[in-house]
Structures are given as C-alpha cells and as structure tokens.
Amino acid sequence: MAVMKSDISTTSDEYRRNASAYRERIADLHRRRAAAMQGGPERARRLHKERKQLLPRERIAALIDPGSPFLEFSQLAGEGMHEGVPPGASIITGVGIVSGRPCMIIANDATVKGGTYYGITCKKHVRAQHFAWKHRLPCITLVQSGGANLPDQPGIFPDEGQFGSIFYNQIRMSGEGIPQIAIVHGPSTAGGAYMPALCDETVIVRNQGAMFLGGPQLVYAATKEEVGVEELGGGEMHSRVSGVTDHLAENDSHAIAITRDIVANLGDIPQQRWQVAEPRPPRFDPNDIYGLISADPRVPTNNRDIIARLVDDSSFHEFKPLYGDTLITGFARIMGFEIGIVCNNGVLFSESALKATHFIDLCCKRGIPLLFMADVTGFMVGREAEEGGISKHGAKMITAMASADVPKYTLIIGNSYGAGYMSMCGRPMKPNAMMMWPNGRSAIMGPDQAANTLAMVRDEVHKREGTTWTEEEREAYRAPVRQQFEDFANAYNFARNIWCDMVIDPLETRNVMALLLDLAGRLPPKETRVGVLRM
Ligand code: COA
C-alpha cells in the first residue's frame, strides 16, 4: 500500500499559532472531563463513603478486568443544564471488559441528586442501551437511584426515549438473548426498582441496597402502614422472602465479585471475525495534528495531512484520487483494523458525491467498516451545480451512506454543516458511534449565513409592507442570531445534548477507533440493501 506524502513545516508561524490554540482546547477538554469525573458535591461523596459504599467510578474500576479500558459514552451530557448537576447527568455509561467479555456498564451516581433521572439522564441511559443493543453487549446496571427527578417530569415520563424506554429496551434485549444484569447498591425507588426487577439476574447488597415501588414515607401516606426500609425492600427480604433478587452480597465489593461470576457464566464470548493486522504507528507524528488544524475558520485544513497522521504506517490506498478531489476516499488500517475512509477536503460537488457513492458501495460489498471524517460546509450551490444534478447526486451519496449496513463511524474533525452533516453520516444517519474533536462544529448553516438569511427574509417583509430599517437596526438583528448559531455549533453543545457520543482529543482517535471496531468485529456480517439510486 502506498505511503502518503505529507510535507509540512512545523516551524512556521501558522503551525505554531495553530498548535498553541489547540493545546488550549485540549486543556479545556480535560477541565470539563475532570468535573465529570468528580461527581457530586463533597458533602454527598462524604456521606456515601460514611455509609461504607464505593463511589460509582470505584465500582466500575472494581468490576472491569485489571487493565481493561473503559470507553465512556456521553461523559459531558447535561453540562450546565441543571443547577448543581455536574457534567454526566448523574449517571456514568461506558464499555469495559468484565470476565473477558465486553459489557456495557451503566452506573447511577447517587452523589448527584440521589442518582435521580432528569430527561437528559434518561437520554444518556437509552443511548447506552442502543449502543449495547447494536453490538449485543450484556448490560450491567449499578443501581442506586431515587428514580424520576420529579420536577423534570416532561423530560422523563410521557415519551419514547425517556424512562419507560429504559424498561422497554431491557425487556427487548433480554428477549434477544442480550443479558441484563443489575446490582442494587443503595436505595432504589420506583423506576430505580423496576430496572433491577426487569433484569435476567440481580444482586443486592445487604443493609445498603433496597428496592420498592414506594418508600416508607409514601407507604405510610398511602396506607398508614409503618414499615422500615429493610423490612420493606432490603436485601435480606428480597433474597429470602419476595425472591425479587437472586444473590445477596455482604458489601459493594462482594456484589461486584458475584457479578463478575455471573458474566463468566454467560456462555461463549463472541470472537473477532476480522483479520486484524499488527498495529503500526503512523510514519508522521500524530502530535502534528494540533498544528495542522487551522485555528482560523476561514483557512481550510488540508485533511490529507490529517489522514497521514491517523492511519497505520501512514499507508493509504486511495480510490479515485484524480476525480472529485474535494472528497478523499480510500482504504487504510487503524490499529490493525481495515477501514474505508470518506473524508472531506472542500465543498461537496456532484463528482465528489458520485465518488462517495461508488466507494461506499465497494465497502459494503467487501464488508469493510466506514469512517466518515467530516469537515464540510455543505454542497455546492448555484445554477451550474443544479443543472449538473447536484440534488440527485447528493441524494445518491446519502442513500448509499444511510443504506450501508457495515459498521459506520463519524468523526467531526472540523465543520459539519447543513446537508454536509447529513451526508457525512451525522447522528440521524445512525452511525455506530459519533465523535467530535474539540474544534468540531456543526449546525444547519454557519453563523454569518444564518444571520444574513434571516436578515434577508426581513428585508423582504419590509419591502412588502413598505417599511424600512436602518443599517444599525439590521446589524442589531443579525448579531444575536450569529451568536446563537456560534454557541449552537460548539462540540460541547453537541456533547451536552448527547447529539454526539464523545468529544475526544485527536491523539485519542486511534485507540477509540480500535475499541469500537473490536466490538463491531464480533458481530455477524449484515447484507446491505440499498434504497433507489436516482440516475
Ligand atoms: N426528585 C427530585 N430530587 C430528588 C429526588 C426526586 N425524586 N430524590 C432526591 N432528590 C434530591 C434531593 O432533594 C437532594 O437534593 P440536594 O442535593 O439539592 O439537596 C438530593 O437529591 C439528594 O437527596 P438526599 O435525600 O439528601 O440523599 P440520600 O442519599 O439520603 O437519599 C434517596 C437518596 C433517593 C434515597 C432519597 O432522596 C429518596 O428517597 N428520594 C425520593 C425517591 C422517590 O420517591 N422517587 C419517586 C420517583 S417516581
């Protein structure tokens, strides 16, 4: 395979400016992650420890095999959304290896508002379930939750994708033979009680775990029956009397040991079906990426240089290098896994869309997973483009991409705007996972375009009604729109709303891709059935 060429200057002013700006972005990413890792306030964490309980991240660390990675999803969910709730939305989700088997781990963080579920918490739990479902990963839920966060009812109760979907997904996954396991670590009320009750196998911790549909106060209010927590829903009662739980543990560590045994008895571990080559580092230093990503939004990044720093041995078998060159397509390996790369290098033209369609088809026929590296402001507009049929060629690309039933991954490495976002496998196109680099940005259109478009609409209204507005009034109208679009496009806004799975440092990309591809390679291949391609 051909080794890429990449002739860059690491001493130029531009490189240095870019690198220094990017290091600030990375420091910002780590600050946000640190806030998420810490969990709830000091007071709540102390209380937790006084009860002789492990903190949720300590539980996860004890559950996964020594040395296992923990690929965390939606770590920054809900950042800044609710007063007193740190990034993470009172729950931790991610994939780790338990007794040699990849599992989805979902852990309530009771140090944050009693581990209760806001709307965004439900969304995060459901997203973790969907990933587990798609990859047939057993789900291990570490429960300690007061159930619904009552004031956030509209985000929790009535709709699909909210709390009820958690139950539905558990039931359907169990039905499809995807194991559902829970540990009841602490008081788990209402929805918090149904989650373990709906599992295949459930462990409860003595004198700590408790599950009931209504707690003692609620029972008293409803029936005047006076009953304590242990009697009403403690481990001893549920393990000996009600039979709601299957294993009684002495403490958190014991419960985790029992759970590891449960996972060890789930039958054969699905094996990797792809031939994974010996991983080779890129020939060009991935650290250069910081200096290559343009800090000036008006100056494009040469993404060929980026690919050269992400793929094994910087080797790339490029497909149609001379045709539709605003899109780079080709085969490479990342940490030994074969992958088909579709990467923007400019605006999408008809030729680039046709090339993408052809390339995606090749990957589907060969069963090779796809990585979409998005850096696109959109499709070409104008009379020439329309006469050349850009709508139907763009439609072909989107159809091929949405139909492709090989594992698909989206990495937003720069811009991802409008129809470009869709055609480069944006979230609605259901990639297996979607990541953003901290500089990643996505919106219907850019801030200036949005401000101009809305101002032009208003111009027309003035014209129709025979009124006028001054240039100052026009600018005063445009400025907040611009700001709103600017804020929206930010990678952390996507992370906060769980529109992407994670914001990653470019230097983490190879490892994250390897973990994701390892999971996908344990599934049987699927046949792609392509929607009609408009000719
Ligand atoms: N809705 C909204 N907020 C809730 C809540 C709920 N269902 N349950 C707890 N909280 C909040 C508390 O107000 C408190 O907020 P603060 O940090 O701002 O002070 C925080 O969560 C921690 O609660 P606290 O009771 O101090 O913690 P704890 O560890 O001693 O007990 C629970 C946690 C969950 C066992 C206990 O709060 C409880 O029983 N809550 C009611 C659960 C319930 O009935 N849910 C019904 C859902 S349908």
For the CA of 41, the closest atom of ligand 1 is: 17
Predicted TM-score (pTM) of the model is 0.96
**Cα(150) to centroid(ligand 1), Å:** 9
- Is 46 strand, coil or helix? helix
pLDDT tens digits, one per residue of 65-92: 999 999 999 999 999 999 999 999 999 9
**Cα(146) to centroid(ligand 1), Å:** 6
pLDDT tens digits, one per residue of 394-437: 999 999 999 999 999 999 999 999 999 999 999 999 999 999 99
128 near 104, Cβ under 8 Å? yes
Residue ranges per structural domain of the chain: 39-264, 286-444+490-520
39-264 topology per CATH: 2-enoyl-CoA Hydratase; Chain A, domain 1 (3.90.226)
DSSP string for 376-436: E--B--SHHHHHTTHHHHHHHHHHHHHH--S-EEEEEEEEEEHHHHHHTT-GGG--SEEEE
What pLDDT sits at residue 507?
A: 98
Does the structure show a pLDDT above 90 at 298?
Answer: no
pLDDT range class, residue 199, cuts 50, 70, 90: very high
Answer whether 114 contacts ligand 1 (Cβ < 6 A).
yes
Take atom 14 of ligand 1 and give the residue whose Cα is closest. 113
Do 39-264 and 286-444+490-520 agree at the fold level?
yes
Angle formed by the axes of helices 252-264 and 56-63, nearest 10°:
40
**CA atoms 342, 344, 349, 351: torsion sign:** negative
HSE, side-chain direction, 13 A CA sphere, residue 70? 21
What pLDDT sits at residue 36?
A: 98
**Cα(111) to centroid(ligand 1), Å:** 10
DSSP string for 145-213: ---B-GGGHHHHSSSTTSHHHHHHHHHHHHHTT--EEEEE-SEEETHHHHHHHTSSEEEEETTT-EEES
What pLDDT sits at residue 191?
A: 86
The torsion angle over the Cα atoms of residues 522, 523, 527 and 529, rounded to 10 degrees, is: -120
CATH number 3.90.226.10 given to 286-444+490-520:
yes
What pLDDT sits at residue 297?
A: 79
Quick one: what percent of the chain has pLDDT higher than 90?
Answer: 97
Does the structure show a pLDDT above 90 at 332?
Answer: yes
DSSP string for 246-309: SEEESSHHHHHHHHHHHHHTS-PPPPP-S-PPPP---SS-GGGHHHHS-SSTTSPP-HHHHHHT
Higher pLDDT, 483 or 191: 483
Answer whether 51 contacts ligand 1 (Cβ < 6 A).
no
Does the structure show a pLDDT above 90 at 301?
Answer: yes
